[in-house]
Structure 1
């Protein structure tokens, strides 16, 4: 009985080892499994999952909601008084007042916020264009490296076969050690190139995985691994480039900001209403309407802000001209 038990234990141990090896091979295959993906699918996945593009969309939504903040009116002031204001009798009064900026200020602030929102939309398009370029570069680089790998693998097989034949001829005395050494060196060089190429290929695939913001590994495929590039660039195409459009929009933002800072030199407006009693005269209540203007007497600081904003316009124009060239 003891021998039978030992034999069964050995069988169980062998089966366990086979099962472990089988599961390891399956898991290794799953870890290295790569999903085939076309260029169009890669772009679609990048547009859906890339964090940078998502962030630009959120900024655009934020700027759109911020547009409604142009009508920023100060808090309404409400006050009350009670006491001997007009004589020995106790009187009371209530007043309400509201201060406004000059209407031009609100109009200029609205223009600036609209310009900032337009810039965020253009920046979203620019981010999308940059992402498209990066995905295209990496995608077709992988296809190119894969084709190079096929060529080097073929060359490596030739060198390996040549090295084997040279070694066999050396044993038969049909050649010298120099031919065998040359064949071995060429074979090793081909293997080194293949290893370097494999490393570059893995890095490129990781870059694609990062751009797609995915935990899955992808294998680019294409029936026509050739990019169609139109080398004819017109002036209109240059002006429509998202980066130039964004820089041009920055000029508009700075111009709107300069106009806004300048408009803040205009006077503020004040309107108020007061209702009070005068018991020394009679039991009636008296009303009064107040209208006022806030005259900016000390404008040095605000004028400096307006000049600084105007300087920003010049800076943005220079940036646009440099990029356009």
Structure 2
């Protein structure tokens, strides 16, 4: 990169720096020394000569030979009041220093230019990176600013012009197509070639590694004009074949028309593309302008030609089929069949027009609540706990491990025998039933926790939503007042210029306007805060703005405090905790029930044995003897189990007390909110019946009286402040009403 910095220094200057102590010692004044120095080197008027009516000044100074060198200045003798003559070198330091070479100004402000060339990158990305680094590393003093000119300034201005030229060109193309075919449906049908061609233009720029520039924008305009030619050629041929009536179906018309016009379509695109090919391959002077333009046109025509031969016949068939089925007039058919295309163009075309994109979405309160319940992280985690609890229900029947064993040795006689056994421990069926009921109760508890979190989430979403609604209404109020205050400020300035009033009125008017601007900025900051909270609740990166029909939440009717809070998830949660405590108590009672062990044994008894007590028979290792075993386990030492049961009973009693306390607290809160709503309703009734009308009347009459000179600026300011306070007070009252209504909805789980 080549860097050029405007030189502002480098002009040598003789600088005389006085020693004030030496001047004071010789009883001299700096003004006297300056006069001697000025007289010797610049000249001083010593008298005047007259010749008739003309006057000539007599100027004295030293001879030219005595003022050629810097040493001549130091040798200059200064007379002191005591009669001595002192050289100037003893009274001052004389030196040659570099001074300002030039001081450039623009719009009455000093400026310095730093210029550089950019190679291998586009200008806009370089400037954006430069701005980012300057903002991060430098903090300019007050009154200083940085402006970017040159090609970047031209680019910015050209983009602004293109934002008008591109939509205008698109509109003119559509208008001319309408007049050419006499039908809007055919005009829009051919108009679809524009977004198809834009795809190829962007793709071609990407392949060649070229940024979007002004020449590329001009290329898109030229491309849009050429791209519709293929559509005109095809649609004209289709309509001609349909008018002749030789073909029976739309499909035959499309196939025949495409076959007849394939070569003209390809030639139309090829001629234009080949014509721009030398510009696309240019490397000489002006290539940086020619190559993006030609690249856009060639790439766009390639995709437009291919896609037009495929997409355009399909759309033509679809439109003609719908027109044939509807059997309406051409105008009505055009309006109905082209609606989807209009929607398509409304979606595609804004992407080529700067300034039409908007990331913010307008949503109603119900839509936001639905999105919050779907996307909120806390709700998602709570639902996962429900799934986990449901899986635990399948683990309610847990049997101890089956015992397998064996023995070998001299068990019954001198012979070695072996024994194998298996046993299983289990409880009564009611043990597993109680465990299953506990798991089900815990699942219901998790579900109640989800309902409680959703109720809290809905409250937070409503609070942020209606807070943003009030802030937006206050912004509208400030916009209304802005025109009023600026009109007052302009009138005050005119009155001050004509001498009708003093500067105090002008200052007051300016301060009112500045306060209004400050309030508007603060409201915008508050809106961003609420918007960030809303995005957090919805777990979204998109911006949301409220869409609303009314400022106030619909009045909530409650029959009684008890009936109102009965459906609150918090109370349901307390009730479920009572059930869980009871289920846990029943599970602890399992320790008081007996356990059973069922076993099976198989063993050998080697030796002589008698079945009848007389005859002896030998039994070897292969002869097996088996028996079954049933063991009963009784809780004889059950002190610990009884203590756990008593603990669970205490826990159940505590849960009942928590339910009673929570019910009382919710009923008290609901009663207090209802009383507060009565006070707020009185305020709203005043504003809606008389306050707002009085405020509007005060604003109109104040402006009229001030213009007529019936009141001064002091009275006008007082009246306007009262009117504004009424308007803002009404919005604050609505905000208080909404917050109390939201709290009521939260307490009653609505």
TM range (shorter): 0.7 to 0.9
2:463 aligned with 1:137, yes or no? yes
2:412 aligned with 1:60, yes or no? no
Give, in whole Å, the separation in 2 of the partners of 1:145 and 1:319: 40
Larger radius of gyration: 2
Among 101, 106, 123, the alignment partner of 2:432 is: 106
Partner of 1:244: 571
2:580 aligned with 1:253, yes or no? yes
Query: Does structure 2 conserve the Cα–Cα contact (< 8 Å) formed by 1:244 and 1:324?
Result: yes
Q: Give 1:238 shift.
A: 2.5
**1:256-304 per-position Cα deviation (integer Å, ceiling 9, x unaligned):** 1112112222222211111111112324322221111222233333332
**Secondary structure of 2:632's match?**
strand
Give, in whole Å, the separation in 2 of the partners of 1:30 and 1:255: 63
Partner of 2:534: 208
Query: Does structure 2 conserve the Cα–Cα contact (< 8 Å) formed by 1:105 and 1:264?
Result: no
Query: Does structure 1 conserve the Cα–Cα contact (< 8 Å) formed by 2:485 and 2:509?
Result: yes
TM-score norm. by structure 2 comes to 0.39
Q: Please report the RMSD computed on the Cα atoms of aligned residues, expressed in angstroms.
A: 2.6
| Higher mean displacement: 143-152 or 162-171 | 162-171
Among 486, 499, 502, the alignment partner of 1:160 is: 486
2:419 aligned with 1:93, yes or no? yes
**Secondary structure of 1:274's match?**
strand
Partner of 2:445: 119
2:636 aligned with 1:297, yes or no? yes
**Secondary structure of 1:296's match?**
coil
**Secondary structure of 1:253's match?**
helix
> 5+ residue gaps in structure 1?
1-8
Structure-to-structure mapping, 1:280-291, within 5 angstroms: 280=607, 281=609, 282-283=619-620, 284-291=623-630
Partner of 2:368: 42
| Higher mean displacement: 302-311 or 137-146 | 302-311
> 5+ residue gaps in structure 2?
1-116, 124-149, 160-211, 213-351, 610-618, 665-750
Query: Does structure 2 conserve the Cα–Cα contact (< 8 Å) formed by 1:156 and 1:187?
Result: yes
Query: Does structure 1 conserve the Cα–Cα contact (< 8 Å) formed by 2:427 and 2:596?
Result: yes
**Secondary structure of 2:395's match?**
helix
Q: Give 1:95 shift.
A: 0.5
Partner of 1:186: 512
- Taking structure 1 as reference, are residues 259 and 17 closer, same or farther at Cα in structure 2, changes over 3 Å only? same
Structure-to-structure mapping, 1:222-237, within 5 angstroms: 222-234=548-560, 235-237=562-564
- Taking structure 1 as reference, are residues 165 and 317 closer, same or farther at Cα in structure 2, changes over 3 Å only? same
Give, in whole Å, the separation in 1 of the partners of 2:355 and 2:466: 25
Partner of 2:403: 77
Q: Give 1:320 shift.
A: 0.9
Q: Give 1:119 shift.
A: 1.3
Query: Does structure 2 conserve the Cα–Cα contact (< 8 Å) formed by 1:34 and 1:216?
Result: yes
- Taking structure 1 as reference, are residues 165 and 248 closer, same or farther at Cα in structure 2, changes over 3 Å only? same
Q: Give 1:150 shift.
A: 0.7
Q: Displaced runs of 4+ in structure 1, greater than 6 A?
A: 28-32
**Secondary structure of 1:98's match?**
strand
**Secondary structure of 1:200's match?**
helix
| Higher mean displacement: 281-290 or 50-59 | 281-290
Give, in whole Å, the separation in 1 of the partners of 2:510 and 2:522: 18
Give, in whole Å, the separation in 1 of the partners of 2:565 and 2:485: 50
Give, in whole Å, the separation in 1 of the partners of 2:355 and 2:576: 51
Give, in whole Å, the separation in 2 of the partners of 1:233 and 1:19: 68
Partner of 1:3: none
Give, in whole Å, the separation in 2 of the partners of 1:188 and 1:15: 36
2:659 aligned with 1:320, yes or no? yes
Q: Give 1:89 shift.
A: 1.5
2:592 aligned with 1:265, yes or no? yes
Q: Give 1:87 shift.
A: 1.2
- Taking structure 1 as reference, are residues 286 and 19 closer, same or farther at Cα in structure 2, changes over 3 Å only? farther
State the number of aligned residues.
313
**Secondary structure of 1:75's match?**
coil
> Higher relative CO (CA 8 A, sep ≥ 6), structure 1 or 2?
1
